[in-house]
């Protein structure tokens, strides 16, 4: 068995494209993370721009920094052809994570490493910071990222005449242009092209990451062999969009919006965090002992939520947060992406029939944000279409975030999802 190399963080400068919402991106770059057999590391480093990535540190690039990255990208050795005999596992992160999926500071470190479900001694493990985020990939924290004003300018005239029947409101024109999971999946597809990876053996991710994984399998149905969405679905819901709407309003109504948002991002995070948990798990950890008199002190759950809000404020960009919310809201595999996108496979109607890969869906029984019944129903629908699809459910009191907490159950689930059909 080959030894695993040291994990490598790197940047890729990619060919830009127009977002599904209309605006054309002036540039695209993604920050990636690799862990795999040691003999591959040197070749990968020569064909990318290696970087020192600091988890939790927002990256903001002005024009000069973008120019330096582009110049460095012109010096890499291409074409980059990684060994096709090494299986590729692509992990896609959730809303506010980064590309560091494994290693000492990795958000999935109990699942990624030698002799773990995702094993870099026998697999090539990749993760990219999502388009529109703020941890090294092109996003609203960077110069030249388009806004709602650019999106409105790109819309057909007939779409601008649609008026809501009630509850009308306006978003500030400084809000980032809408990004969808198709956009994020297309950017990942271009990153895989750069790396010379033609086949992905397993794509997995939780929450928004699971949505993007499904979008990638839909955009490139013959490139992905197996997809394992976790606590996700093929289409967003009014329930998800409702939570996101309140969080979005908290941010855009902050007096410091768009550049100096503080309290608004904290409130948005507190609301979202409640949707990520479940009553039983939260009560077990945050309820005071029965009969205890607090005498004016805050309840444990209050200080817990304040802590969660401040943590995110200190490590994330509010505009990038809005961009990731829009990706959740727009997610719908039944909607076709833009016709001008250079997709080679448009032979099927745009629906679940696009999928060609095996599907191993993983739900969480206490998830109140992404109902596990929807993911189970998706699996049944895919089976009726003739696909190799199966479903497994994790039992946890902790709700949606169980995929970041229940390490024993996730070890079993990922081991199951990784098996060849």
In the set 133, 137, 207, 358, the catalytic residue is: 207
In the set 142, 317, 367, 401, the catalytic residue is: 367
- Whether residues 123 and 219 share a domain: the answer is yes
- Whether residues 309 and 407 share a domain: the answer is no
CA proximity to 229, closest of 268, 181, 277: 181
pLDDT tens track for 73-85? 999 988 898 999 9
The answer to whether position 243 is within a domain reads yes
Catalytic residue check, 133: no
- Whether residues 101 and 231 share a domain: the answer is yes
Asked if residue 79 has a cis previous peptide bond (ω within 30° of 0), the answer is yes
Full residue range of the structural domain in which residue 325 is found: 239-287+295-330
Average confidence (pLDDT) over 35-46: 96
Q: Which two tokens stand for residue 37?
A: 């057999």
- Whether residues 197 and 103 share a domain: the answer is yes
Average confidence (pLDDT) over 376-403: 97
- Whether residues 300 and 363 share a domain: the answer is no
Output the average pLDDT for the chain.
93
Which residues, 6+ apart, have CB-to-CB distance to 4 below 8 Å? 35, 36, 37, 38, 113, 114, 119, 120, 121
CA proximity to 306, closest of 354, 337, 266: 266
- Whether residues 323 and 343 share a domain: the answer is no
CA proximity to 208, closest of 308, 318, 97, 89: 97
- Whether residues 378 and 399 share a domain: the answer is yes
Alpha helices in 53-175, H assignment, sequence order: 63-73, 148-154
Catalytic residue check, 143: no
The answer to whether position 277 is within a domain reads yes
The answer to whether position 379 is within a domain reads yes
The answer to whether position 64 is within a domain reads yes
- Whether residues 28 and 154 share a domain: the answer is yes
Asked if residue 258 has a cis previous peptide bond (ω within 30° of 0), the answer is yes
- Whether residues 398 and 313 share a domain: the answer is no
Q: What is the CATH number of the domain that holds 247?
A: 1.10.1740.110
pLDDT for 244 beyond 60: yes
- Whether residues 35 and 112 share a domain: the answer is yes
pTM reported for the whole predicted model: 0.96
- Please report, rounded to a whole number, the percentage of residues in the chain having pLDDT higher than 70: 95
Q: What is the CATH number of the domain that holds 386?
A: 3.40.50.1820
- Whether residues 55 and 27 share a domain: the answer is yes
Catalytic residue check, 207: yes
Q: Which two tokens stand for residue 249?
A: 């309003």
Domain count, the chain: 2
Encode 307-328: b = buried (16+ Cβ within 10 Å), e = exposed: ebbbebbeebbbbbbbbbbbbb
pLDDT for 161 beyond 60: no
* Residue, of 287 and 360, whose pLDDT is higher: 360
CA angle, 98 then 406 then 110, to 5°? 55
Burial of residue 157 (CB within 10 Å: 0-12, 13-18, 19+) is exposed
The answer to whether position 401 is within a domain reads yes
- Whether residues 122 and 193 share a domain: the answer is yes
The answer to whether position 3 is within a domain reads no
Plot region of 113 (φ>0 → left; ψ -120 to 50 → alpha; else → beta): left
The answer to whether position 1 is within a domain reads no
The answer to whether position 345 is within a domain reads yes
In the set 137, 358, 400, 418, the catalytic residue is: 400
């Amino acid at each position: 068995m080959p030894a695993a190399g040291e994990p490598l963080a790197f940047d890729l400068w990619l060919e830009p494209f127009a977002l599904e919402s209309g605006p054309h991106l002036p540039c695209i770059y993604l920050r990636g993370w690799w862990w795999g057999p040691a003999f591959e590391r040197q070749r990968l480093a020569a064909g990318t721009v290696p970087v020192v990535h600091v988890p939790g540190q927002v990256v903001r690039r002005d024009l000069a920094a973008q120019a330096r990255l582009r110049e460095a990208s012109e010096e890499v050795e291409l074409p980059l052809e990684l060994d096709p005999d090494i299986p590729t596992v692509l992990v896609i992160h959730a809303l506010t994570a980064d590309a560091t999926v494994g290693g000492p500071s990795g958000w999935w470190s109990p699942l990624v490493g030698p002799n773990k479900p995702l094993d870099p001694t026998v697999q090539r493990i990749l993760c990219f910071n999502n388009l529109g985020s703020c941890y090294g990939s092109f996003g609203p924290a960077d110069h030249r990222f388009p806004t709602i004003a650019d999106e409105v300018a790109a819309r057909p005239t007939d779409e601008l005449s649609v008026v809501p029947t009630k509850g009308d409101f306006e978003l500030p024109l400084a809000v980032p242009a809408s990004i969808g999971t198709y956009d994020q999946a297309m950017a990942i597809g271009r990153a895989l092209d750069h790396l010379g990876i033609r086949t992905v053996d397993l794509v997995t991710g939780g929450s928004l990451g699971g949505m993007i994984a499904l979008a990638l399998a839909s955009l490139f149905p013959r490139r992905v062999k197996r997809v394992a969405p976790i606590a996700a679905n093929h289409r967003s819901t009014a329930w998800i969009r409702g939570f996101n709407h309140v969080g979005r309003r908290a941010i855009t109504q902050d007096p410091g919006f768009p550049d100096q948002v503080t309290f608004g991002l904290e409130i948005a995070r507190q609301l979202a965090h409640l949707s990520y948990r479940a009553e039983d798990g939260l009560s077990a950890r945050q309820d005071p002992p029965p009969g205890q008199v607090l005498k004016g002190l805050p309840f444990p759950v209050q200080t817990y939520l304040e802590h969660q809000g401040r943590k995110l404020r200190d490590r994330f960009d509010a505009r990038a947060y809005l961009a990731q919310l829009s990706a959740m809201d727009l997610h719908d595999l039944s909607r076709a992406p833009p016709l001008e996108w250079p997709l080679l496979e448009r032979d099927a109607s745009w629906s679940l029939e696009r999928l060609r890969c095996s599907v191993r869906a993983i739900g969480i029984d206490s998830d109140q944000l992404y109902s596990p019944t929807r993911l189970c129903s998706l699996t049944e629908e895919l089976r009726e279409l003739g696909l190799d699809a199966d479903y497994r459910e994790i039992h946890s009191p902790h709700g949606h975030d169980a995929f970041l907490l229940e390490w024993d159950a996730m070890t079993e689930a990922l081991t199951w999802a990784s098996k060849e059909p």
